[in-house]
Structure 1
């Protein structure tokens, strides 16, 4: 993916998605809305802040970096899937704002912007709510992903057979990620860490549709193709 700034309307889409909490439940038989007329439904955000009900009176940490790295520019679909998954799950409340992390993932999307609004909704469902993010930030909470497996799901062939010929861009492929999501922070003077299994599917389009891979859609968290 080129590192030049994306069009303003893409940034507006992700900001609106975060501001209004737009969340999509990806629907359809196997294709998760990767059709020409997707119809997402609203679901609750999938966040689980592991902090006490009342935050200590800590000041908001200042960001220590000036920019997040872009997702890998490559024609290797698996390498792209790994980097995109890492960018999606990994964040640090002391480094950047919630919208910054979401923007990096949306910027790796379809350069025609056809799937941008839907992808922004998908991305939003992976992050804490703005209120939860503010609370997590008082603890210096950070999150990261360790990979167990990255694979093309067996059901992908079935999904392709059920889709109409023109539903998918040529070169579209699905990769399912399974691993562990870790969170760590400091409560008072005590360092705390939690972890849980996580699984999700990324839908990616590479050559011949694009010169390099781009992210089209995401499955729901813990509802991947197998």
Structure 2
């Protein structure tokens, strides 16, 4: 039974220039990065006819929602790029509808480790939102105690990022800016007819971060569209 599925950046112009370089390189490589620049389209997990979200486990509406006992996940600070990217990924996929928290609460966890300049706050908030169920779907999923976590199978710096760095003009990329593509498995658990059920789904995405010497610790810049990573 399935369950539903860049010190502080020197200027905003620099980030725009970085994205411009990425666009040029990726177009030449035949890879779209619309999701990086504008953020992925809004996710709507409800059916077009207003029915339950696709793949949502069915259970008796009278089944009580578990009492909230969990805390929000955290993103551990790190000055190591790969470690930080892994921490971001793990926290991004860690949520529990029975925790008493809402999607915006989980979004705030990721925003807390975003670019301190605030230049990309709106953009990354939009990115994060597409990784989470919307409010309506969340409320529905709460009836089934749906929770999620991620296991990471593979992490690497995408080849296209190396190309972008090679072609960037001096000063276009803040030192310590890097991208990691992550491939893994999204696990969901829930309750169906009073029984525990689980589902698994492969996912892939890219995180864009900036670390030393720009910052003492790493910070998140943007996220790619889910399942449309750089390669």
Q: Same fold (TM over 0.5)?
A: yes
CA distance in 1, matches of 2:97, 2:215: 33
Instruction: State the match for 1:5 in structure 2.
Output: none
CA distance in 2, matches of 1:213, 1:52: 38
Structure 1 residue 88 corresponds to structure 2 residue 92: yes
SS of residue paired to 1:94: helix
Instruction: State the match for 2:23 in structure 1.
Output: 28
TM, length-normalised to structure 1: 0.77
Instruction: State the match for 1:195 in structure 2.
Output: 200
- Cα deviation for residue 54 of structure 1 reads 8.1
Instruction: State the match for 1:40 in structure 2.
Output: 38
CA contact (8 A) 2:60 2:193 kept: no
Where does structure 2 lack aligned partners over 5 or more consecutive residues? 1-21, 27-31, 46-52
Instruction: Report 1 or 2 for greater relative contact order, CA contacts < 8 Å, sequence distance ≥ 6.
Output: 2
- Cα deviation for residue 176 of structure 1 reads 0.7
Instruction: State the match for 1:135 in structure 2.
Output: 140
CA contact (8 A) 2:102 2:135 kept: no
CA distance in 2, matches of 1:173, 1:104: 21
Q: How well do the aligned residues superpose, as a CA RMSD in angstroms?
A: 2.6
The verdict on how the C-alpha distance between 1:205 and 1:143 changes in structure 2, with shifts beyond 3 A counting, is same
Structure 1 residue aligned with 2:226, among 210, 221, 225? 221
The verdict on how the C-alpha distance between 1:134 and 1:116 changes in structure 2, with shifts beyond 3 A counting, is same
Where does structure 1 lack aligned partners over 5 or more consecutive residues? 1-26
The residue correspondences of 1:99-138 to structure 2 (distance < 5 A) are 99-138=104-143
- Cα deviation for residue 147 of structure 1 reads 1.0
Figure out how many residues of one structure are paired with residues of the other and give that number. 196
The verdict on how the C-alpha distance between 1:44 and 1:112 changes in structure 2, with shifts beyond 3 A counting, is closer
Instruction: State the match for 1:181 in structure 2.
Output: 186
Instruction: State the match for 2:76 in structure 1.
Output: 72
Max Rg structure: 2
- Cα deviation for residue 194 of structure 1 reads 1.1
TM, length-normalised to structure 2: 0.76
